[in-house]
Chains A and B, each alone.
Chain A
C-alpha cells in the first residue's frame, strides 16, 4: 500500500465556504465560527520496535453565538454539521438572553476591510484573510510532507540501531503534521491559514546514563533529527559515571528545553488580562518593575520565525507580539476579546479554549530572545555546577514568588572546570523562576522549541541560559 502525501483535512476553499454557508443559518445577533483541524502523523519507537505508528485527524468546528446578553458555543467535529451547530448555538444564545450583563461581541477592533491575499486560482494551502493579518513566513514546507511514515519509520530504525551499537537503548517520537484554522464571523472576518509542523524527541540511555534531545518547527529539513539523535546517544554512551545531584545551591546551565519549561510558567505570574482584572500578579501589582537583567526579553510571538508561528487566533484576531518581560522589566499581558474588553484594551490575539476549563487567553508561542554565546561557552564559564537538559513534572507552588517545584530528568551532567564530567541522577528543586531569571548571566544563541501540552498550536522556544545560584534539594535538603 503506497504512502499518501499528507494533506490539509479541511482545505481553504472548503473550510471557508462551509463556514460562510453555515453562517447564513444564524438567528443570533452575532456569530463567529472557527474550524481547527489537524492531521498528525506520529511514529513512536522504544527499544526494538516502532510500537505506536499513528495517523490522527482531529477537527473541531466551534460556533459562538450572541443574542442580546446571551451567548453560547456549540462545537461539532465535521464541517457537514456546521450549519446545525450555528442553529443550535443561536437558539441557546437566545434562550440565555436576559441573563447576566453585556456580552462582548466578536468584532475585532480596527481594520474590517476584506483584502483577499490569495493569488488568483488560490493556493492549496496558504493564508487568506484581512488586512492586518500578516502571514508569518514559512508556514508551509514540502520537506515536512516528505517526512512521511516510511521516512520516519526508517529513521526510527536507524536511531534504535545506533543506540544498540553503542550498548544503549533509544525511545522517541517523530512527528509530521498539518494544522489548519479558519475563522468566519458576522463581524466581517474571514481568514484561513494552514501550516506544516515537524518535531521529534529522543531519549537515549546507556547503563545508568542518559541524554535527551528534542526540537519542533514548521520545516522538517531544518531539524537535523538523525545527527542530533546520534549525538544524544553518543553523549549517554560516553558517560561512565552517574552520581546523585548534590544538595545545595549551584551554578546551573539550563539547556534550551529546560529553559523553555521554566519560562512556560511566566503567564501564570500574572501576564494575562484576567489576572490583571483581578488585581493578581506581576502586571497588576508590579508594573514595569525590574525582574531580570536587561538582556532578558520573553515574548509571546506567533509572528516570529521560531517554533510554530501562526497569524491569528480562534476569534480571528491577528496575533500581537506581546513582551511579557521586556528588557528585564515587567511587560504586558495577553488577552482575548472578552478579557480585553474587561480591562479596556484590545485583544492581543490569544483566545484559547482549554478542555474542561473556562475559555481564557493563553500565551501559546513563548520565545525567549537568544543571546550571543554558544551552550559550550556557557558551560565553559562554570567552575563547578550542573548542566540540566530536561525538567519534569514542574508545577506552580507560589505565583507571587514565582516558585515552581519539579525534578531534573534525562541528560543532566555535573560540570567541573567548564566540562561535563559525570551524569546526574534525578534531582528535585523548589525554586523561583523569577529568581533564576534575575540571576542569569549568560544566554545562548540557539533556540530550541518544544510543544506546550493542552494548548492549540502551543510552543515555547528558548536558548540555554546560565543561572548563578539555583538550589537543588528540598527545603530540608534531604531529597
Chain B
C-alpha cells in the first residue's frame, strides 16, 4: 500500500446536517472531505482527453441476520468502499471501478476508464453526443427514526427467533427461514460539468418463509413478499411495524393449508391481484418494457428488447384508459427513493403511462439523447462497481378510489391472488406467465377457500387492457426488490407499488 486514503471521517461541510443514522464510516465527512478523491478522478479524466467524466464514490454497509430452522443463525455485516469512473472520449464511453485502497485509486480508475474508451473507439462507428448540462449540486438523506445499526443485537435476534418459532409451530412445516436486514450508504457524485452531489441512504427490512411438505407435495408461503421479504428506506421502525411474529404464524398455517387445497382448472376468470404480486407484474411487464436502453437495442444480447418502440410516446396504447403508471423517486421511504440518479440527474415525478397511453420512458442521458429527449433520471447502478443502466425507480400503478371489498363485490366470482411463486416473461416483455403462492376463490364477492399452484398468463397490452380498477390509497403498498440487468449482471434496487386491482377475463391455470 503506497498511501492511505485521505482522512474522510471528520465531519465538515454538510456533515452537520447528517442524521444520526448516517454518522458512520469513512465517508461521513461530507463533500469537502470527499472532494480530493472526486477531483482526482474527474481531473485525471479531463486531462486524459475526456470531454465528459463522472465519478461515484460510495461506501456501503449491510447487516443481515438470517436463521434457518435446524441451523445456527448467521449474522453478517458486509462493508464496501470504492469508486467508479465513467468517461466520454471522442464520443465513446469508457468505465472502470475499483475498491478504494489508497488515494491513488481515484486517478487509477480514471486512467483505466480512459484506456477502455480509447480502445473502444476502434470498434465503434456510432459516436455519442451528450447535450451539455449545467452543474447540479445537492444533498439528500433518508429519514430514519431508529438507526437499525444501533439496535441491540439481542433485539434483532429475538425478532428473528420469534418469527422462526411462530412459523415452525404448525405441524407440517418442515423448514422456515426468517431474517432482518439493514443497509446504509454514503454516495458522492461529481462530474466535469461541475456537479457535486451527496446522498446518504438507510434501509431496513425483514422476511419470513415457511415451507410445508406432505406426501409428494411441497408448498411455501412468505411474508411480506416472496423476494427476500421487503426492504424500505427507513429505520428499524419499519421492521417493528412488520409484526413478523404474528405474520409468521399466519404464513406457516397457510403453507400447511395449501398442502390439501385444490388446484384450479384451466380457463379464463376475473381476478384481483394483490399488491405484492402486482408489484412484480408492473416490474416485469411495465418497468422493463419502458427501459429506453433496452428499447434502443443496447440490451439485445442479454436483458432483451421491448415490444415498445422509441416512437411509442403518445402513439401506443399500452392498456385500458384506467391504467396510469408513474415513476417517482421523490416519493420517500422505498428502495427507489433518491434525489439524484447515478449519473447525477435530479429526479422528478414522470408519468410513464397516462390513461393507458405510453407517455414516457425510463431513460438515461445516453439513451435520452439518442431520441432527442431529456433523461427521466432512471440511470441506476449497483453501488460503485457497475455502470449506470436504465432501471426502474419507484414505478407505481396509481391507486383508485374504492376498497378491496368493493372490488370483490364488483368482481362477484373469480379469484384473489398474491405473492409470487414463479415468474417468466419473454425477452420482448410481451408474453408472460406467473404463478402465485396463494389464491382464494371468490364467490358472490366473498373470499372462500384457498387454492394452490395458481397461475395466470397473458400478452402484456391485452392483459393491461383488461385492467378495470384499483383499490384506493389506503390499500396501496410498495415493495422494494432487486433486479438483474447488464453484462456483467448487476443489481438495481428499486420499488414498485400498487393497490389490489381487478382484471377481467384473464387466462388462469396455465402452468
Q: Are B70 and A277 in contact (CB under 8 A)?
A: yes
Residues of A within 8 Å of B435, CB to CB, are 397, 405
**How near does chain A come to B440, taking the closest CB pair, in angstroms?**
20
A245 to chain B, nearest CB (A): 11
Chain B residues with Cβ below 8 Å from A277 are: 70
User: Which of B212-220, B232-240, B354-362 interfaces with chain A?
Assistant: B212-220
A53 and B119 in contact, given A95-B153, A407-B424 (Cβ under 8 angstroms): yes
The minimal Cβ–Cβ distance linking B123 to chain A, given in whole angstroms, is 3
Q: Return chain B residues, CB-CB under 8 Å to A52.
A: 93, 95, 298, 387, 486-487
Answer yes or no: B250 CB below 8 A from chain A CBs: no
Minimum C-beta distance from A435 to chain B (A): 14
Q: From residue B487, how far is it (CB to closest CB) to chain A in Å?
A: 4
> Which listed residue, A101, A395, A430, touches B510 by the CB 8 Å rule?
A430
Assess whether B123 is in contact with A50, with CB atoms less than 8 Å apart: yes
Is there an interface contact between B431 and A407, defined as CB atoms closer than 8 Å? yes
Interface of A is mostly: mixed
Q: Which residues of B contact A50 (CB under 8 A)?
A: 92, 120, 123-124
A406: contacting residue among B96, B304, B424, B486, CB under 8 A: B424
Chain B nearest CB, measured from A283 CB (Å): 14
Q: Evaluate contact between A475 and B98: CB separation under 8 angstroms.
A: no
Complex CA distance for A80 and B431, rounded to whole angstroms:
49
- A45 to B93: give the CA distance in the assembly, Å: 11
Residue in A closest to B77 when the chains form the complex, CB atoms? A74
Question: Are B64 and A57 in contact (CB-based, < 8 A)?
Answer: no
Q: Are A280 and B174 in contact (CB under 8 A)?
A: yes
A476 to B509, Cβ gap below 8 A?
A: yes
Which of these binds chain A: B106-114, B139-147, B403-411, B441-449? Answer: B106-114
Question: Does B243 lie at the interface of the complex (its beta carbon under 8 Å from any beta carbon of A)?
Answer: no
Known: A74-B77, A171-B297, A406-B424. A278 touches B510 (CB 8 A): no
With beta carbons under 8 angstroms apart, the residue of B48, B68, B95 that contacts A274 is B68
Rounded to whole angstroms, the CA-CA distance of A339 and B123 in the bound complex is: 49
User: Is B401 part of the binding interface, using a Cβ–Cβ cutoff of 8 Å?
Assistant: no
User: Which chain B residue shows the least CB distance to A104?
Assistant: B72
A75 near B78: Cβ-Cβ < 8 Å: yes
CB distance from B158 to the nearest CB of A (A): 10
Bound CA span A278–B426, Å:
34
Contact (A397, B510) CB under 8 Å given A173-B301, A280-B218? no
Identify which of A153-161, A290-298, A438-446, A460-468 touches chain B: A153-161
Within 8 A of A (CB), among B83-129: 92-101, 111-128
CB pair B427–A403 under 8 Å, yes or no, is no
Would you give the shortest CB distance from A170 to chain B, in whole angstroms? Answer: 8
Contacts across chains A and B counted by CB atoms under 8 Å: 308
Chain A positions within 8 Å of B122 at CB level: 150, 153-154, 157
Q: How far is the CB of B511 from chain A (nearest CB, A)?
A: 5
Which residues from chain A contact B123 at a C-beta distance below 8 Å?
Answer: 43, 45, 49-50, 153-158, 160
Asked whether A380 is an interface residue with its Cβ less than 8 Å from the other chain, the reply is no
Chain A residues positioned under 8 Å from B387 (CB to CB)? 52, 54
CB neighbours (8 Å) of B75 from chain A are 71-73, 92, 96
Distance in angstroms from A84 CB to nearest chain B CB is: 9
Interface residue tally for chain B (C-beta within 8 Å): 101
A395 touches B218 (CB 8 A): no
Contact B301 A203 (CB under 8 A): yes
Q: Specify which chain B residues have a CB less than 8 angstroms from the CB of A101 in the assembled complex.
A: 72
Nearest-Cβ distance from residue A196 to partner chain B, whole angstroms: 16
CA distance A476 to B66 in the complex (A): 40
Tell yes or no: B206 within 8 A of A by CB.
Answer: no
Residues in B neighbouring A156, C-beta threshold 8 A: 123
**Contact partner, B76, options A75, A103, A172, Cβ 8 Å:** A75
Chain B stretch 171-226: residues in CB contact (< 8 A) with chain A? 174-175, 177, 179, 181, 211, 213, 216-218
Residues of A within 8 A of B473 (CB): none
Check B385–A393 contact: CB distance below 8 A. Answer: no
Partner of A358, one of B1, B68, B482: B68
Known: A60-B78, A78-B101, A357-B66. A395 touches B422 (CB 8 A): yes
Contact A51–B457 (Cβ < 8 Å): no
Chain A residues, Cβ within 8 Å of B6: none
Does the CB pair A46–B301 fall under 8 Å?
yes
- B491 at interface (Cβ–Cβ under 8 A)? yes
- A60-B99 Cα distance, complex, nearest whole Å: 9
B42-80 with Cβ < 8 A to chain A: 48, 64, 66-80
Known pairs A45-B123, A409-B427; A474 contacts B116 (CB<8 A): no
Q: How far is the CA of A422 from the CA of B297 in the complex (A)?
A: 24
Q: Which of A56, A79, A280, A393 is B213 in contact with, Cβ under 8 Å? A: A280
Minimal Cβ-Cβ distance residue in B for A155: B123
**Complex Cα–Cα for A72 and B154 (A):** 13
Contacts of A41 in B (CB 8 A): 116
Q: How far is the CA of A428 from the CA of B77 in the complex (A)?
A: 41
For B64, list chain A residues within 8 Å (CB).
356
A44 and B487 form a contact (CB under 8 A): yes
For B499-511 the 0/1 string (1 means CB < 8 A from A) is 0000000010111
Q: Is the CB of A80 within 8 A of B1?
A: yes
A117 at the binding interface (Cβ < 8 Å): no
Given A78-B81, A395-B423, A428-B424, A54 and B157 contact (CB-CB distance below 8 Å): no
Chain A residues closer than 8 Å to B116, beta-carbon distance: 41, 53-55, 149
Contacts of A426 in B (CB 8 A): 426-428, 430-431
B487 / chain A contacts, CB cutoff of 8 Å: 42, 44, 52, 173, 175, 201
Complex alpha-carbon distance, A360 and B66, angstroms: 11
Question: Does B365 lie at the interface of the complex (its beta carbon under 8 Å from any beta carbon of A)?
Answer: no
Bound complex: CA of A153 vs CA of B125, how far in Å? 12
Q: Report A417-447 residues with CB < 8 Å from chain B CB.
A: 426, 428, 430
Residues of chain A within 8 A of B68, CB atoms compared = 274, 358, 360
Partner of A74, one of B72, B76, B428: B76
> When the two chains form the complex, which single residue of B66, B181, B366, B426 contacts A428, counting CB atoms closer than 8 Å?
B426
For residue A453, CB closer than 8 A to chain B, the reply is: yes
Task: Let me know if B424 and A92 touch, CB within 8 A.
Answer: no
Chain A residue nearest to B1 (CB atoms) is: A80
Kindly list chain A residues whose C-beta atoms are within 8 Å of the C-beta of B491: 355
Given A59-B99, A99-B73, A278-B211; A358-B66 close (CB under 8 Å): yes
- In the complex, the answer to whether A51 meets B298 with C-beta atoms within 8 Å is yes
Q: Name the residue in A79, A430, A454 with the highest tally of chain B Cβ atoms < 10 Å from its Cβ.
A: A430
Question: A121 — which chain B residues lie within 8 A by C-beta?
Answer: none
A53-B93, A280-B218, A394-B424 known; A356-B181 Cβ under 8 A: yes
In the complex, the answer to whether B73 meets A49 with C-beta atoms within 8 Å is: no
Q: Please, which residues of chain A bring their CB within 8 A of the CB of B72?
A: 69, 71, 100-104, 338
The answer to whether A392 and B426 touch (CB under 8 A), given A53-B93, A149-B116, is yes
Could you say which of A1, A40, A88, A430 contacts B77, with CB atoms under 8 Å apart?
A88
State whether the Cβ of A138 lies closer than 8 Å to any Cβ in chain B: no
B300 within 8 A of A: yes
Whether, in the assembled complex, B386 has its beta carbon less than 8 Å from a beta carbon of chain A, the answer is yes
Of B94, B179, B423, which one neighbours A53 at CB under 8 angstroms? B94
- Minimum CB–CB distance for A135 against chain B, Å: 25
**In the complex, A22 has a CB within 8 A of chain B:** no
Once bound together, how far apart are the Cα atoms of A356 and B229, in whole Å? 10
Could you write out 6 A-B pairs with CB less than 8 Å apart?
A: A40-B488, A50-B92, A77-B79, A152-B119, A202-B301, A405-B422
User: Which residues of A are at the interface with B, using a C-beta cutoff of 8 A?
Assistant: 1, 3-4, 40-60, 62, 69, 71-81, 85, 88, 92, 95-96, 99-104, 148-150, 152-158, 160, 169, 171-173, 175, 201-203, 205, 274, 277-280, 285, 338-339, 342, 353, 355-360, 392-400, 403, 405-407, 409-410, 426, 428, 430, 453-454, 474-476, 478-479
Please list the 7 inter-chain residue pairs (A to B) with the smallest Cβ-Cβ separation, ordered nearest first: A157-B123, A73-B76, A50-B120, A149-B119, A48-B126, A53-B116, A171-B300
Given contacts A96-B73, A395-B422, A405-B433, 18 further A-B contacts (CB under 8 A): A3-B119, A43-B120, A45-B124, A53-B119, A54-B387, A55-B116, A59-B99, A73-B78, A99-B154, A103-B72, A156-B123, A172-B301, A285-B216, A358-B66, A359-B66, A392-B426, A397-B435, A476-B266
